[in-house]
Amino acid sequence: MSRRRPFRPTTRSADEPESVFTAHDVPDVLATVPTLFGFRPTESFVAIATYGPRCRFGFSLRLDLPELEHAGTAADLAVHHLRRQGADGAILLALSDDHERAETVVRAGLERLEPDITPIVIAWADGRRYWQPLPGFPEQGIRYETSAHHEAVVRAVAAGQEVLADRDDLVARFAACSGEVLDRMAVVTEGELDRVLRRFGESLTDSALVGAAMGELDPILDRALNEQERLSDVEVALVSLWCASVMVRDELMSRINRDTARDWLRVLTDVSSRVVAPFVPSVLCLAGFAAYLLGDGAQAVIALERSLAADPQHVLSRLLMQLIQGGVSPEQYEAMGEMTIAEAQRERAILRQRERSA
């Protein structure tokens, strides 16, 4: 506890965008949490890495609030990721009406921070009051208010972020289509598949396959990405069925980077809402990858969970999930060099083939 320093307000430098928000106290930090995950977490244990003397927010992690007997395990996991991310300081929050579980996991996390990570804000809250493990802190807690009009939320929304009510709303964004939409998309997708097979056949070389696919997809994706046009059902079907080709999927994946990820996520989320089996895994995998590069771990995990629900053995989705669960940041991923996950996957396939032939 000796290294704890107060959470001091910071000032925005001249080159920072207006959407940057400075948190001045614990209620400000609590108000900022929904903007980090895109929804308002409840029954959650949250860890946020801070960097530098101004305590800039960086890596953030949300876990379901653990049962009492698993508090230490959750704390170990959170602090492990904070260290992996090179955090200078840490904010640990538990958000729950169950004060005992919330306090227990926060204190367990605090015990594991020192000596190399400075505690910045350590608190648990129930949406009305918050508590901190500080000498003389009021037993009844300190009242605070939550508001959709808090400056942190307003700035995030103004910058183009959507803050949903809870995680269920985020899950619904990637939910499978059903009813009339499912019936309609099944017919449209089958029709487009028949057309593509009649036009291109089934014996294209790899390079010809990618060329044929991108000849059809480039005009569609250019409009969707650059002009923000929503895809028609036929266009969704085309993107979906072409993504079933690993070569085409990898070509699309190579075009997604941290600068383009937000637009790609918007388009792929739209496709995800209308894709039908058996084309779900590749589309949702690409959506998860775009969310991951954007730094939105919550959306990445939800998209990848749907991909793996459709195909538990989908290799690329499993690899991406391992990256996220291992706490590998988008910055670290890009620093790996030119070998992408897809390329690494192909390399491993070649090695396995050689082993089988030996």
The pLDDT score that the predictor gives to residue 31 is 82
Residue 204 has pLDDT above 70, yes or no: no
List the CATH number of the domain containing 51.
Answer: 3.40.140
58 sits in which H/E element: strand 56-64
Domain boundary among 165, 191, 211: 165
Same domain, 184 and 79: no
Residue 266, token pair as written in the block:
């918007």
pLDDT of 350 > 70? The answer is no
Residue with tokens 């388009």: 267
CB atoms within 10 A of CB 316: 23
- DSSP, collapsed to helix, strand or coil, labels residue 54 as coil
What pLDDT, on a 0 to 100 scale, did the predictor assign at position 2? 33
Q: Is the pLDDT of residue 17 over 90?
A: no
How confident is the model at residue 208, as a pLDDT?
A: 81
Strand-pairing partners, residue 50, are 57, 89
Label residue 345 by pLDDT band (50, 70, 90).
low
Q: Give the pLDDT band (50/70/90) at residue 159.
A: very low
CB atoms within 10 A of CB 254: 11
Look-up of token digits 């959506």: 287
Tens digits of per-residue pLDDT, 278-291? 999 999 999 999 98
Strand, helix or coil for residue 68? helix
Same domain, 108 and 158: yes
The percentage of residues in the chain with a pLDDT greater than 90, rounded to a whole number, is 46
Q: What's the sign of the alpha-carbon dihedral 57, 59, 64, 68? A: negative
Domain co-membership, 99 together with 202: no
1 found inside a domain: no
Q: Is 92 helix (H, G, I), strand (E, B) or coil?
A: strand
Alpha carbon distance 83, 117 (integer Å) = 8
Which residues, including other chains, have CB under 8 Å from residue 235's CB and lie 6 or more apart?
220, 224
**151: pLDDT strictly greater than 90:** no
The 10s digit of each residue's pLDDT in 6-15 is: 343 333 333 4
Q: How many CB atoms within 10 Å of residue 339? A: 10
Same domain, 276 and 137: no
Domain end (from 116, 144, 165): 165
Q: Is the pLDDT of residue 351 over 60?
A: no
Report residue 23's pLDDT band, with 50, 70 and 90 as the boundaries.
Answer: low
Direct distance between the N- and C-terminal alpha carbons of the chain, in angstroms, rounded to an integer: 58
The confidence band for 240, taking pLDDT boundaries of 50, 70 and 90, is: very high
Residue 263 shares a structural domain with residue 299: yes
Long-range contacts for 308-315 (Cβ within 8 Å, ≥24 apart)?
A: 308/281, 310/277, 310/278, 310/280, 310/281, 310/284, 311/280, 311/281, 314/281, 314/282, 314/285, 315/345
Percent residues over pLDDT 70 in the chain: 79
pLDDT at 331: 78
Which residues make beta-bridge pairs with 225?
A: none
Q: Is residue 8 part of a domain?
A: no
Query: Residue 8: its pLDDT value, please?
Result: 37
Structural domain containing residue 277: 174-357
**pLDDT value at residue 348:** 54
Arithmetic mean of pLDDT over the chain? 81
State residue 20's pLDDT score.
46
Residue recorded with tokens 């779900």: 280
pLDDT of 184 over the 50 cut: yes
pLDDT of 71 > 60? The answer is yes
List pLDDT tens digits, range 242-296.
998 898 999 999 999 989 998 999 999 999 999 999 999 999 999 999 989 887 8
Sheet holding 118-125, edge to edge: 56-64, 44-51, 89-95, 118-125, 129-131, 142-143
DSSP 3-state assignment of 95?
A: strand
Tokens 């089958």 sit on residue = 190
CB of 130 within 8 A of CB of 93? no
pLDDT at 137 over 90: yes
Mean pLDDT value of segment 191-210: 80
Q: 230 and 89, same structural domain?
A: no
Same domain, 271 and 224: yes
The last residue of one of the domains, among 133, 165, 197, is 165
Would you say residue 152 has pLDDT above 90? no
pLDDT, tens digit, 9 for 90 and up, residues 85-104: 889 999 999 999 999 999 99
Q: Quick check: is 20 in a domain?
A: no
pLDDT band of 341, cuts 50, 70, 90:
low
